[in-house]
């Protein structure tokens, strides 16, 4: 390969990297429904049953009793209150719902949790923490 061709190839590679650099430098966009997830987790942390159901579908409202919510809150509120980090894992399409998967890593160092939040038409149709 001639010196000219090597220089042209190197310039081409540098140009391609420079053109791609702004895409890497931009901050990550907020994941759709992240604010909704934050609201749901905040409601669990504070014991806010009505807040938790404010964005729920009619079916979810009918099935989730206050007693069940309080049981979940009793288990998770202390861990959520102590702190956690969330990481978006991806999304599934299931039965007409958009199901987002999130990892919760608690600062207490104990087991992580998997959150599945199913939404459709802007409403939460299912919310599971495993």
Looking at CATH, the fold of the domain delimited by 31-129 is given as Nuclear Transport Factor 2; Chain: A, (3.10.450)
- According to DSSP, the residues that pair with 99 across neighbouring strands are 92, 118
What percent of the chain is predicted at pLDDT more than 90? 75
CA atoms within 13 A on the CB side of 43: 19
**What span, in angstroms and rounded, lies between the C-alpha atoms of 22 and 33?**
26
Write the Ramachandran bin of 85: left for phi over 0, alpha for psi from -120 to 50, otherwise beta: beta
- Specify the higher pLDDT residue, 2 or 52: 52
What percent of the chain is predicted at pLDDT more than 70? 77
pLDDT in tens, 77-101: 999 999 999 999 999 999 999 999 9
pLDDT in tens, 37-66: 999 999 999 999 999 999 999 999 999 999
**What span, in angstroms and rounded, lies between the C-alpha atoms of 16 and 115?**
39
């Amino acid at each position: 390969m001639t010196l000219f061709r090597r220089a042209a190839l190197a310039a081409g590679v540098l140009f391609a990297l420079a053109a791609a650099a702004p895409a890497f430098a931009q901050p990550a966009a907020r994941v759709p429904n992240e604010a909704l997830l934050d609201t749901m987790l905040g409601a669990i942390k504070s014991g806010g049953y009505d807040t938790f159901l404010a964005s729920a579908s009619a079916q979810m409202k009918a099935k989730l009793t206050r007693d069940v919510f309080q049981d979940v809150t009793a288990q998770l509120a202390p861990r959520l209150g102590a702190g956690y980090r969330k990481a978006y894992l991806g999304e599934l399409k299931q039965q007409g719902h958009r199901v987002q998967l999130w990892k919760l890593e608690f600062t207490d160092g104990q087991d992580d949790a998997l959150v599945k939040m199913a939404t459709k038409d802007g409403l939460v149709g299912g919310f599971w923490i495993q």
